[in-house]
Structure 1
Amino acid sequence: MSFSLFSFSSTLTTTTATPLPKFRFRVSSVMASTVTTTKVAPAVIVGGGRVGKALEGMGDGQDLLVKRGDSIPLDFEGPILVCTRNDDLDSVLQTTPLSRWKDLVFFQNGMLEPWLESKGLKDGNQVLAYFAVSKLGESPIDGKTDTNPEGLTAAYGKWSSAVSERLQAGGLSCKVLDKEAFQKQMLEKLIWICSVMLVGARHGGVSVGVVEKEFHLELCSLIAELASAAASEKGLTFEQAMEDRLCAYSRAVAHFPTAVKEFKWRNGWFYALSEKAIAQGKQDPCPLHTKWLKELKIV
């Protein structure tokens, strides 16, 4: 979910003999080897894993796929789609000409805002990718639930429309959002991954579906706590029924395993809010989160 949400592994298959679940994925009809009929802007794609290869398969053969650590060309126009782990982002910048930094499009999960701001990329291009690529070379699967039948994937920034067109050419949904709307959805996704992974980890690494079904109260309590802390920190108001939306998504990806990973980019952001409040003599805004992190000896 890397465990990365945009590189989810899926074992879902559909047959006429088996009833379809209420929450289902829509399988793209465009295989990676199929030439798309929609005109897609050529792109540099950084990372040759499942997501990078899937994005390349949505193009028209004019893309340039570079491996992690390879230099980004100065004279290749168009977006630079970054499909690496978060911890590799510094090296991506080092191999990208400074004049092209604003063309970078980040597909990573987690809280990237502090890192982006530290690099002068406050308005950097980002994508919230809610789709699965089960194996290298296979078609992506769109994650849709009945609470969000329009799809959850969203893009922001200079290249958002180009990214949306590419994903739609591959049979996937993708909304283009303004800064505030994107920030809300980014935080909501962050809250989901931090909540479901932590609750699952404290129960032995059970699947996402088990977390949602058997530890529903714990999950919803943590979602509400983190949502309140994030809203207060960012001065925004989330749409109502967040718990319902995130639980619906949990059921849609029920087979995913749980583990607390990439702490710096995920749960670490909320823990930093707790540390700041306590240092100022205030109450911890995320007491459950802090308690469970300590229970697992993560902090």
Structure 2
Amino acid sequence: MANIVLSLSTSSFSSHSYPTKHTSSLTPMATAIRTKVVPAVIVGGGRVGRALQDMGNGNDLLVKRGEPVPLDFKGPVLVCTRNDDLEAVLDATPRSRWDDLVFFQNGMLEPWFESKNLGDADQVLAYFAISKLGEPPIDGKTDTNPEGLTAAYGKWASAVAERLHAGGLSCKVLNKEEFQKQMLEKLIWISAFMLVGARHPGATVGAVEKEYRSEVSSLITELASAAGAEKRLVFEEAMEERLCAYSRSVAHFPTAVKEFKWRNGWFYSLSQKAIAEGKPDPCPLHTEWLKELKIV
């Protein structure tokens, strides 16, 4: 299970070359309805990128590391790379095509979007698992959200939803405020569960949910309060139940604090900002545990 690609992690660039035309491994039902799928440029040839290509109609263009995003290929540009590769992706994309970029990355991307003048960039919260390259994705449905959790926002949101539906996956199209709430919930989930798990070496996501529920509950409450205050929004009730339900659906996934800049780092920046202004730390438990693990 440790090698499964979930909403936790996006794929990296592949070192192999793939043709523009691609033979899909979709089921007959998905093949029958995939004619609705809008052709796309797909940046990144790992598990997520290849899965999205399989959901297409054979007219997608897969872009590898170092290859430019073409100017004359109309449609969305699905970015399925690691967060730290985003700078290179942007450099390889003509500026006139920036508003076609659709980001599948996890974590808090808004500061980076703002620094690049990307505005309200298209994003996807991908709650699905792919056990290995070439295998079909498994939808991340939970007992509290049996309709599925994957969501899309932006100019190409409907096209992305149609592509995922063609692959047998769920996907909701949300407005900006709804999407931001769900994005923050996902950020809270990964930041809280990974940090609590890191305090207990070897703990899986399921172990955190079962054995260290009080710790993760306290952290979820703290991070949700800080995020809500910073973004001036109110989350839907029962967040803890939703996040724990998702944890049960990926119970065997390992825990580790990774991509700090894009995940826990955002909450730590809120703490640093408050302290610099002479205000109380909005995330004292989070800060304490980061220091305990010598992450900061």
Shared fold per TM-score greater than 0.5: yes
Cα distance in 2 for partners of 1:212, 1:67 equals: 38
Task: Name the structure 1 match of 2:91.
Answer: 94
Structure 1 partner of 2:101: 104
- Could you say which residue in structure 2 is the equivalent of 1:268? 265
Given candidates 241, 246, 250, the residue that maps to 1:253 is: 250
* 2:225 counterpart residue number: 228
Structure 1 length as normaliser, TM-score? 0.90
Deviations 1:55-113 (A, max 9, x none): 00000100001112211110000000000000000000110000000000000000000
Q: Note if 1:58 corresponds to 2:55.
A: yes
Q: 1:246 to 1:261 in 2, by over 3 A?
A: same
CA distance in 2, matches of 1:190, 1:7: 10
8 Å Cα contact 1:207/1:255 also seen in 2: yes
TM-score where L is the length of structure 2: 0.91
Residues of 1 paired with 2:4 and 2:202: CA distance?
Answer: 13
Give the aligned residue type for 2:31: T
Q: How does 1:125-164 map to 2 (within 5 A)?
A: 125-164=122-161
Instruction: Quote the Cα distance in structure 1 between the aligned partners of 2:203 and 2:218.
Output: 18
Q: Name the structure 2 match of 1:37.
A: 32
Q: Secondary structure at the match of 1:6?
A: coil
Mapped to 2, the partners of 1:282 and 1:253 lie a distance apart of 37
User: Contact between 1:44 and 1:64, CA under 8 Å: does it hold in 2?
Assistant: yes
Cα distance in 1 for residues equivalent to 2:230 and 2:295: 23
> What amino acid does structure 1 have at the position aligned with 2:102?
V
Deviations for 1:118-169, whole angstroms, at most 9, x for unmatched residues? 1111211000000011100000000011100110000000000000000000
Structure 1 residue 2: deviation in Å?
9.3
- Cα-Cα RMSD: 1.7
Taking structure 1 as reference, are residues 153 and 263 closer, same or farther at Cα in structure 2, changes over 3 Å only?
same
Amino acid in the other structure paired with 2:7: F
> Contact 2:5/2:47 (CA < 8 Å) preserved in 1?
no
**Corresponding residue for 2:16?**
none
Name the amino acid aligned to 2:241: D
Question: Where does residue 13 of structure 2 map in the other structure?
Answer: none
**Is 1:172 aligned to 2:173, yes or no?**
no
- How far apart, in 2, do the equivalents of 1:162 and 1:179 lie? 17
Contact 1:7 1:133 in 2 (8 A): no
Q: Which amino acid is 1:277 matched to?
A: A
Q: List gaps (5 residues or longer) in structure 2.
A: 11-23
Partner of 1:185: 182
Deviation of 1:281 after TM superposition, in Å, equals 1.0
CA contact (8 A) 1:8 1:132 kept: no
Instruction: Provide the rounded CA distance (Å) in 2 between the counterparts of 1:298 and 1:4.
Output: 24
1:117 paired residue number: 114
Contact 2:205–2:252 (CA under 8 A) maintained in structure 1? yes
1:122 partner amino acid: G
What's the secondary structure of 2:147's corresponding residue? Answer: coil
What residue number does 2:7 align with? 6
Give aligned-pair identity as a percent. 75
1:32, distance to aligned residue in structure 2 (A): 4.4
**Alignment counterpart, residue 288 of structure 2, candidates 288, 291, 298:** 291
* Residue 78 (str. 1) matches residue 79 (str. 2): no
Question: Is the Cα contact below 8 Å between 2:3 and 2:132 reproduced in 1?
Answer: no
- The amino acid across from 1:154 in the alignment is A
Distance 2:65 2:215 in 1: 39
